[in-house]
């Protein structure tokens, strides 16, 4: 049996950025830089977890924030009322998000296309509304603050988040190359044929929903404990749409692409604060331009997917230069 070496499929740019962020955490004594990098890592987790389900299956989940915010609030409440350390509350919150993902998967199992998207929007809207209805526990509009960080040092928190993101991405790579990933990609093209082949597509979709929810919940809990607060914005439709945009720009079907694109674009968005008045216009325009130039996403561009692309171009160029 051929063994699959996961590290062989890690893009050099991704490994380089992780090493650069780790070096920044260890060598640069600048909490603001560390906080920016943490934000980039967290959004990378959001985008990659969305792509785990929606990339291979072709589904459009516009309610991803319900897993992010749900786990963020869950970990915060476990720490506040039970006194649990983040090392315990974060995994428990992620596990709860996995259960929620399975439930949402069961409820939306028979829906496709825009009906599936509308159903996920509805689920997220319910979660957002509950954050106000249950204000006694959630803090209402102000949310919950004073959450315990992973460590007492922002740089060490960055290393923790980098480790969690790296492990998540390796796990997602393995998932995509497993039978479940293969079945999900096949259902995108012809689900009836896959079912006729004897595969229980419903079970695979529910499993993917659960894993996607768990990893999104992990990102939500990471956000809460690094920013030391959670609020209804973590459950908002705006966050769900942002995650979809970041993952689409990165390239669906390859979780590392959305993760890298999300990290870089979030850093760019924060860098544009010097043009605060035009920040939203510039950032939105850039997203539109990237989608126009690379409708399949950056990770699915020919110069990324085919290593021989540039070599062939070089051969053609040299041949043209040598022609009379």
Calculate the average pLDDT of the chain. Answer: 84
What integer is the mean pLDDT of 304-323? Answer: 47
How confident is the model at residue 15, as a pLDDT? 59
Tell me the pLDDT tens digit for each residue of 115-151. Answer: 999 999 999 999 999 999 999 999 998 999 999 999 8
Per-residue pLDDT band at 251 (split at 50, 70, 90): confident
CA distances from 100 to 46, 272, 291 (A): 16, 36, 31
How confident is the model at residue 318, as a pLDDT? 43
How confident is the model at residue 284, as a pLDDT? 83
- Per-domain residue ranges of the chain: 6-275
Give the span between the Cα atoms of 181 and 321, in whole angstroms. 45
Q: Which residue has the tokens 């990324």?
A: 304
Q: Is pLDDT at 311 greater than 80 in this prediction?
A: no
Tell me the pLDDT tens digit for each residue of 254-306. Answer: 777 888 888 888 888 888 887 878 888 888 888 888 888 887 777 766 655 55
How confident is the model at residue 64, as a pLDDT? 94
SS (H, E, C) 35-55: HHHHHHHHHHHHHHHHHHHHH
Query: What predicted TM-score, i.e. pTM, was given to this entire model?
Result: 0.86
Cβ-proximal residues to 95 (8 Å cutoff; 6+ apart), any chain: 214
Tell me the pLDDT tens digit for each residue of 4-33. Answer: 455 555 555 555 666 666 676 666 777 888
How confident is the model at residue 189, as a pLDDT? 82
Q: Is pLDDT at 201 greater than 50 in this prediction?
A: yes
Tell me the pLDDT tens digit for each residue of 67-119. Answer: 999 999 999 999 998 999 999 999 999 999 999 999 999 998 888 888 999 99
Q: Is pLDDT at 174 greater than 50 in this prediction?
A: yes
> 257 or 47: which carries more pLDDT confidence?
47
Handedness of CA 242, 243, 244, 246 (dihedral sign): positive
Give the span between the Cα atoms of 76 and 90, in whole angstroms. 9
Per-residue pLDDT band at 50 (split at 50, 70, 90): very high
CA distances from 191 to 14, 15, 188 (A): 33, 35, 7
CA distances from 303 to 32, 169, 297, 307, 312 (A): 34, 22, 12, 7, 11
Q: Point out the least confidently predicted range of 177-191, 242-256, 291-305.
A: 291-305
CA distances from 83 to 72, 137, 142, 147, 312 (A): 15, 15, 21, 11, 60
> 266 or 42: which carries more pLDDT confidence?
42
Per-residue pLDDT band at 221 (split at 50, 70, 90): very high
**Per-residue burial over 90-110, b = 16 or more CB atoms within 10 Å of its CB, e = otherwise:** bebbbbbbbebbbebbeebee
> Are 120 and 63 within 8 A, CB to CB?
yes
Q: Is pLDDT at 316 greater than 70 in this prediction?
A: no
| Domain 6-275 in this protein, CATH class | mainly alpha
How confident is the model at residue 19, as a pLDDT? 66
Cβ-proximal residues to 168 (8 Å cutoff; 6+ apart), any chain: 45, 48, 49, 215, 218
- Specify which residues 83 forms β-bridges with: none
DSSP state of 184: H
How confident is the model at residue 324, as a pLDDT? 43
> Are 40 and 46 within 8 A, CB to CB?
no
Residue (of 37, 39, 43) closest to 20 by Cα position = 37
Per-residue pLDDT band at 170 (split at 50, 70, 90): confident
Give the span between the Cα atoms of 286 and 252, in whole angstroms. 18
Q: Is 53 exposed, middle or buried (0-12, 13-18, 19+ CB in 10 A)?
A: buried
């Amino acid at each position: 049996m051929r063994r699959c070496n996961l590290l062989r499929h890690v893009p050099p740019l991704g490994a380089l950025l992780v090493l650069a962020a780790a070096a920044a955490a260890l060598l640069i004594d600048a909490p603001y830089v560390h906080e920016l990098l943490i934000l980039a890592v967290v959004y990378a987790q959001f985008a990659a977890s969305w792509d785990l389900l929606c990339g291979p299956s072709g589904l459009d989940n516009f309610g991803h924030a319900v897993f992010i915010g749900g786990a963020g609030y869950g970990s915060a409440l476990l720490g506040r009322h039970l006194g649990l350390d983040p090392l315990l509350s974060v995994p428990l919150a992620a596990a709860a998000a996995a259960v929620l993902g399975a439930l949402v998967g069961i409820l939306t199992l028979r829906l496709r296309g825009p009906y599936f998207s509308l159903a996920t929007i509805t689920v997220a809207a319910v979660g957002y509304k509950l954050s106000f209805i249950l204000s006694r526990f959630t803090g209402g509009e102000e949310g919950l603050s004073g959450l315990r960080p992973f460590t007492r040092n922002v740089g060490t928190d960055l290393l923790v988040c980098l480790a969690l993101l790296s492990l998540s991405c390796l796990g997602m790579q393995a998932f995509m190359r497993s039978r479940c990933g293969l079945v999900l990609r096949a259902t995108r093209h012809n689900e009836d044929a896959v079912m006729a082949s004897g595969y229980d597509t419903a079970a695979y979709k529910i499993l993917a929903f659960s894993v996607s929810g768990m990893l999104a919940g992990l990102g939500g809990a990471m956000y809460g404990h690094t920013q030391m607060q959670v609020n209804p914005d973590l459950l908002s439709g705006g966050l769900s749409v942002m995650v979809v945009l970041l993952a689409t720009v990165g390239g669906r079907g390859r979780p590392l692409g959305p993760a890298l694109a999300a990290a870089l674009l979030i850093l760019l968005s924060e860098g544009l604060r010097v043009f605060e008045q035009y920040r939203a216009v510039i950032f939105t325009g850039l997203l539109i331009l990237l989608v126009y130039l690379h409708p399949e996403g950056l990770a699915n561009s020919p110069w990324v997917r085919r290593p021989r692309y540039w070599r062939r171009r070089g051969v053609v160029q040299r041949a043209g230069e040598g022609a009379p």
